[in-house]
Amino acid sequence: MNTAARRSLVTAVQRYFSLPPEEAETVLAELEPVVCRGGEWLFRQGESADCMYLLARGRLQVWMAPAHGRDGGDKLIAEVGPSEMIGEVGLLTGGERSAGLRAVRSSLLLKMSSAAFDRLVQRHPALMRRVAGGIAERLRERTAGGTTVSRKFSTIALMPLDGGPSAQALASRLRELLEPQGSVLILAESQLDALGAPPLPATAQEELSPAMVEWLAAREAEHRFVLYVADPVEGAWREVAVRHADLVLLVADAGADAEVRPWERVMFGASAGAATRRALVLNHPGRPEKLSGTAAWLEDREPDFHLHVRSGVPGDTERLARIIAGTSVGLVLGGGAARGFAHLGVYRALLEAGIPVDWIGGSSIGAILGAGMSVSEDPRLVIDRARAAFVGGKPFGDVTFPIVSFLRGRRMERLIDEYLGGEIEDLAIPFFAISSNLGDGSVRVHERGSLPRALRASASLPGIFPPAVIDRKLTVDGGILDNLPVDVMRDRPVGRIVAVDVTARRNYEVDYDVVPSPWTLLAARMLPFARRYRVPGTMSMLMMAMSIGTMESSLRAGQRADLLVQPLLGGYGFTDVRPFDRIVEVGYQAARQSLENGSFKRQQNDNQGQAR
């Protein structure tokens, strides 16, 4: 075993078990080193659980098959980084593996058999407490509904789809942006000799020499980030870059041919076995107001996500850097009809506090307003457009004969088409909307395709607006099933989440024992001296009834966010757009107070000021 590998193993034992070096050596003697290459399975779900592993170097993904009777393939539920234990629950309880483990990149592990565990626990009783504590922490995360998929990356491969300087230029800019988080090393094949690296293999099919493996491991240990700059030309360095990366950035000029390159099929096809996460980065010259053509780039590719980088918009590259560093912010906006105008005030408060928004998702009115934020990052312009659409356009005013719904929805459709046209994948800020399938009760996440159709589906309040038709299926308001989609956002590469819950919680008391008859209510409205009754209208009653079912779930989802903003909106009606500016102000003040009282802004400053 080479020196770097042994050093990694000792370090992993020391960190996990909190042992001094001499005791770490005795523990290490009981463990068996194991190498799992990128794309290979360490074990699969259902196999016998007869040992556990400590990851010393590399990265693994945890995959789980869907529950019995559910459709869909295996799902990525977690990632494992260095100095983390794997399989301890199975070893202690016996039985079969509850999930499969696959190497993202070549990984070095320590295997601990059941017999070795028994011997070590007798000599080091504290080891059992450490293992039990790790299990308890994992169970707590799972109970909270969060995910342990890594939201930060250490090694990034930048690969231009067509050669040229684009990847090198992006790497240089990323180094500037990432250095406040820690030291950054750019590795390109042309620099290896000058840096004292051992020679590469003659072909991509040959294994790296132990000396090269040790040299790369040393570079990764010395730096917080290593940016591997490769090119599409076949060779050993291209393989090295991909096999040692936590994230592969496929860099392309948006105006180029979008067809999948032959080498992409070789490296990332189903038979390639690569498990590394990939992102498509589309470069745009200048600062175009409207992007287009992204669907062609995504048609035959399956990146984990994609980003637009406009050369005239520095914030685009800054967003990519935050995603890599794990400091990006996702904004989740809940449903609540006109009360959702408070989302606009929250957005303004976040930007004024120096908290840029990197990913946006929402349900119902939250989806519509969130899409407006993704179209334009200027909060004043977003607010002005929303005011013109909702106050001037009066989408809640086109009443129709209530066969399917009280409102025709024509005004809402026209306003969405006017202000929020285009495709979701062309938005500068990544965005998703939530809708509910009326037939099978499933949640649909809209991340591609027509933005107006997705918003129309997400905001189709049952009984208020007609249901939307998506893929020949009736679809209704996303808030019915997931009014505050924090967990959906957790699956995106964001470091922290701000959730805005606009469901109103208040005591609603009336001054009568029995609801008056319709004729009594009509007389109360028509006659000047008749008694007035506080009875909600039909549409308000429907919206209040629907919000009852989402209050508790929205609260639980909001508690899983890093910052929950809950504006006090009980005094505002669901369909009354007249107090637009007052509602926006309520959201603005609620967000400012939440930022002042909580630790979110403090964490932001801590992340930005970490020592190199």
Tokens 């075993």 label which residue?
1
Q: Is the pLDDT of residue 288 over 70?
A: yes
Angle formed at CA 341 by CA 475 and CA 427, multiple of 5 degrees: 60
Question: Sorting pLDDT into bands at 50, 70 and 90, what band is 547?
Answer: low
Q: Is the pLDDT of residue 136 over 80?
A: no
61: closest CA among 28, 84, 93?
A: 84
State the DSSP string of 568-607.
--TTS-SS--TTHHHHHHHHHHHHHHHHHHSSHHHHHHHH
pLDDT for 611: 32
Tokens 């027509």 label which residue?
450
Q: Which residues contact 384 (CB under 8 A, 6 or more apart)?
A: none
Burial 526-554 (b: 16+ CB within 10 A, else e): eeeeeeeeeeeeebbebbeebbeebeeeb
Q: Say how far apart CA 133 and CA 119 lie, in whole Å.
A: 19
Strand segments, DSSP code E, in 13-154 are 32-36, 41-43, 51-57, 60-64, 75-80, 85-86, 100-103, 107-113
Q: What is the pLDDT of residues 487-503, one digit of tens each?
A: 999 989 999 999 999 98
CA 506, 510, 514, 519 dihedral sign is negative
80 or 455, which is more confident?
Answer: 455
Q: Which residues are paired to 481 by β-bridges?
A: none
Q: What is the pLDDT of residues 164-188, one digit of tens each?
A: 788 999 999 999 999 999 999 999 9
Pairing relation of β-strands 443-446 and 468-470? unpaired
Contact between 151 and 494 under an 8 Å Cβ cutoff? The reply is: yes
Backbone angles phi, psi at 542, to 5 degrees: -60, -45
Q: Is the pLDDT of residue 400 over 80?
A: no
Residue type, 261: R
Which tokens in the block code for residue 21? 């070096």
Which parts of 459-564 fold into alpha helices (H)?
486-490, 518-526, 538-559
Q: Say how far apart CA 72 and CA 64 lie, in whole Å.
A: 11
Q: Is the pLDDT of residue 85 over 50?
A: yes
Q: Is the pLDDT of residue 9 over 50?
A: yes
Contact between 584 and 383 under an 8 Å Cβ cutoff? The reply is: yes
Greatest Cα pair distance, the chain, in angstroms, is 96
Question: Sorting pLDDT into bands at 50, 70 and 90, what band is 69?
Answer: very low
452: closest CA among 378, 376, 337, 372?
A: 372
Q: Is the pLDDT of residue 152 over 50?
A: yes
| Burial degree of 239 (CB within 10 A; 0-12, 13-18, 19+) | buried
pLDDT for 40: 87
544 or 388, which is more confident?
Answer: 388
